[in-house]
Structures are given as C-alpha cells and as structure tokens.
Copies of this chain bind each other. A is one copy, B any other.
C-alpha cells in the first residue's frame, strides 16, 4: 500500500510502500540508514541484511543525494525514541541523481537563488513554506469567520493607486495598462456592495532597490469595511495580527524550531497594540536621530527606533497628509494629518500594515486627485462611490512576505516566497 510519510502513524506494524527522495544516508557497519524525504515528512529507513537481503544491502551503496526511490517495508516504533522507522524489505531506484548541486556544505546566496527550484527541498525552506501556507490559511479563516466576502481586484488597472512612479506598464491590446500596486480602490466599491470584503493577490512595484525588505512581486491581503472609522480599522488590524501569530505559534511549532526562531518574541504579540500619534513617534525618533525632520515620512532606521521600544507591533497614526496617498481622509479635528495608521513590526522588520479611513467627501477627493496630477477620467468610477451613497469606510493592506519574514525571524524577504522576484533576479 502506497502511503505518505505524514500518514505513517496509522500504519504501525503494517507493510507499506513510500516514494520519495534520498535526503541523507549513513552506515554503521551492520546497519545502514536512509533518510527518506517525500515532501510530507522525513523517515528513517533501516537496511539490515537479515531482513532486506544481501542484494538490497549492497544496492544501498548506489543511493545518491536526491535520487528518487520507492521503498517498501514494515513500519516499526524506534526502540528508544518516540519515532517511527521503516524496516526495509524492498527498494527500487526510480532515477539516480548525479552531483546534486546543493551539497550539505555552505553555498553563497546567489548560487542558492540560481538554484531556487532545488533549494526549496531543504529542511529550512520547506519549514518557511509551511508557515507561509499556515499564514495564508489563518488570514482567510480570520476574515471568513467574521463574514467577510473575498472579492478579488483586477491586476490590469488603468489607474495608478499609489502614485505614478514604480509602475509596471504593459500593452493591453490598443491601450497602455499598469500592473496593480493595490486592490484597495476596487475594495471600496465592493465594500459598498457587500459590507465587509477583502482581496488577496499579487501586487507589483518596479523599485530599483536591493533591500532586505522589498520584493518586486509580493502578495497582499486588503480588507475594507463599510462604516468603519480609523479606530475600528486599527482594532481589526491588531486582532488579525494577534490571530495569525498565535495560530502559527500553536500549529507550526516544529517549523519554528527548525528555523531556530526565538518564540518568546512572538508570544507577547497580543492585542491591544500600543498606538502613537505621529508627533509622539517623532519625539521618540529625535532622541536617537536628531537629524530627523518633523513632517517627513519615516525611513527604515526611524521605524526601527520606534519599534524597538515595544515588545509587540506598534501603530503610528495621523501621519502628515503630505507624505500619504491622495485617498486618505484628513482629520477635521487635526488638520494636516490623516486618519490613517501604519503598523510597525518588532525587531526592525518595519511596516507590515498600512491603512486608514478613506476620503468620503466628493469635492475634497476630486481636489486631491487634481493635486496629485492623476487623470480624473480614470477615477470617474472611484468618485462615483462618493456620488451615490457615500459612506465612511476604512481598510488596510498587510504584506504577506514582510509579515512572514518577521514571524520566521528571517534576515531577508527573499526566502519568504517560493520564487522571489527581485531587482536583478527573475530566474527561475
């Protein structure tokens, strides 16, 4: 019976067949061990001449790293450790791998990135991908459980949401179109149809920069809620972040252990999160960076100064309108500042959420579109949302890869996505 390694515990004392790849081999004279990997787990396969026979015992020597094999035998409990093993009685090499490029020795990052399609097979990379899977599932469970409807935004957009720089352009038959940088504007339309909505998909920024925080192609979840103000929005964001972190801590202990993640840094991630007005945040920054000019946006080092003060993520709200996007609502009680907030992750991972309340006044919005030199024609549908039943509403975007880098404690976002697209890296 062909089974997966993850299902082994249901087959103790039975004869089973497993297909997979040679992860490692070792030998101690009379007994030989094959560490078999099938993608769902790693299994110790025991070759002992009296049970497997002389021929197989010798054939073991042909096993090379990452060769594909079919192994049969009896599932037994390890005499001492809480582990299952396979007592091999037959095996077959499906295809012999010769000189697998990634050996157990150290390799440089460029070499590993060039071999990303194989690097993904390592214990560390599969652990990250499993946590990524859990993160995505946790996010959809969070929103679906609260009655949100997923309404995917288009990738081809005639309008530039976050400004006209850093856009990828493509020829869409007879016209020029851009690849989406955010689904937010579209979520504002679907929020008016369905109340509580989100989209989840890839977004694109053509940034010519090589930093450990940026990908060219990254995934975002963007919820939008009708009749939520900026404070409801922060509450939703902190509930989401608490939920995903605590769920990964519960369900992905083993993977976090593989990554040697200090989980005490995640255990404290419980709502409510501290909230700083932009001005309070500036005071903190100026203590360590006297050059910082109040009114400016924060640089990465400034964000780190703020987040290092706290043991959980921290909101900064009421940024100056001048440094934020055209759609952000200015606070009538705090002129010049917007009703938006960013959430900064601890340990120097920077902004993982940006969001806030949207401008719902037609005249102000139309003026902002002109001031930002955007084409009003492209935004006709967007301003319609203020013509026909305008409503207070808020939402945010959470970047999957940066959030995952933080949760996993990775030094660079490049390992957080199966096939990263970076400035200067588009293969494989």
- Contact between B387 and A97, CB atoms less than 8 A apart: yes
Within 8 A of B (CB), among A190-223: 190-197, 201-202, 204, 206, 208, 216-217, 219
Nearest chain B CB to A334's CB is how many angstroms away? 22
* Contact of A312 with B by CB under 8 A: no
* Chain B neighbourhood of A125, CB < 8 A: 193
- Contact between B118 and A388, CB atoms less than 8 A apart: yes
- Contact between B140 and A100, CB atoms less than 8 A apart: no
* Contact of A91 with B by CB under 8 A: no
Of the candidate stretches A71-79, A167-175, A262-270, the one touching chain B is A167-175
CA distance A150 to B227 in the complex (A): 33
* Chain B neighbourhood of A38, CB < 8 A: 195, 226
CA distance A172 to B172 in the complex (A): 16
* Contact of A426 with B by CB under 8 A: yes
* Chain B neighbourhood of A153, CB < 8 A: 418-419
- Contact between B66 and A389, CB atoms less than 8 A apart: yes
* Contact of A247 with B by CB under 8 A: no
* Contact of A189 with B by CB under 8 A: yes
- Contact between A39 and B195, CB atoms less than 8 A apart: yes
* Contact of A381 with B by CB under 8 A: yes
User: Contacts A39-B196, A193-B39; is A202 near B155 (CB within 8 Å)?
Assistant: yes
Most buried by B among A101, A190, A197, A423: A190
CA distance A153 to B421 in the complex (A): 11
Of the candidate stretches A54-62, A129-137, A276-284, the one touching chain B is A129-137
* Chain B neighbourhood of A382, CB < 8 A: 117, 428
* Contact of A364 with B by CB under 8 A: no
* Chain B neighbourhood of A4, CB < 8 A: 147, 195-196
* Contact of A111 with B by CB under 8 A: no
* Chain B neighbourhood of A149, CB < 8 A: 129-130, 133
Most buried by B among A130, A132, A192: A192
User: Contacts A137-B140, A226-B39, A389-B68; is A427 near B381 (CB within 8 Å)?
Assistant: yes
CA distance A191 to B19 in the complex (A): 13
CA distance A228 to B189 in the complex (A): 43
* Contact of A234 with B by CB under 8 A: no
- Contact between A391 and B95, CB atoms less than 8 A apart: yes
Nearest chain B CB to A23's CB is how many angstroms away? 10
* Contact of A40 with B by CB under 8 A: yes
* Chain B neighbourhood of A388, CB < 8 A: 66, 97, 100-101, 118
CA distance A210 to B120 in the complex (A): 40
* Contact of A112 with B by CB under 8 A: no
Nearest chain B CB to A391's CB is how many angstroms away? 5
- Contact between A193 and B381, CB atoms less than 8 A apart: no
Nearest chain B CB to A402's CB is how many angstroms away? 15
Q: Which residue of B lies closest to A150 (CB)?
A: B133
User: Contacts A94-B390, A202-B155; is A170 near B173 (CB within 8 Å)?
Assistant: no
Q: Which residue of B lies closest to A130 (CB)?
A: B149
Within 8 A of B (CB), among A394-427: 417-419, 421, 423-424, 426-427
* Chain B neighbourhood of A381, CB < 8 A: 115-117, 427-428
* Chain B neighbourhood of A137, CB < 8 A: 140, 144, 150
Choose one: B129, B192, B360; the contact of A193 (CB below 8 Å): B129
User: Contacts A150-B136, A193-B39; is A170 near B169 (CB within 8 Å)?
Assistant: yes
- Contact between A95 and B390, CB atoms less than 8 A apart: yes
Within 8 A of B (CB), among A120-148: 120-121, 125-126, 129-130, 132-133, 136-137, 140, 144, 147
* Chain B neighbourhood of A272, CB < 8 A: none
CA distance A419 to B195 in the complex (A): 17
* Contact of A24 with B by CB under 8 A: no
Q: Which 5 pairs show the lowest CB-CB distances between chains A and B?
A: A39-B195, A381-B428, A68-B389, A95-B390, A117-B189
5 A-B pairs in the complex with CB atoms less than 8 angstroms apart: A21-B389, A94-B392, A115-B381, A155-B204, A158-B426
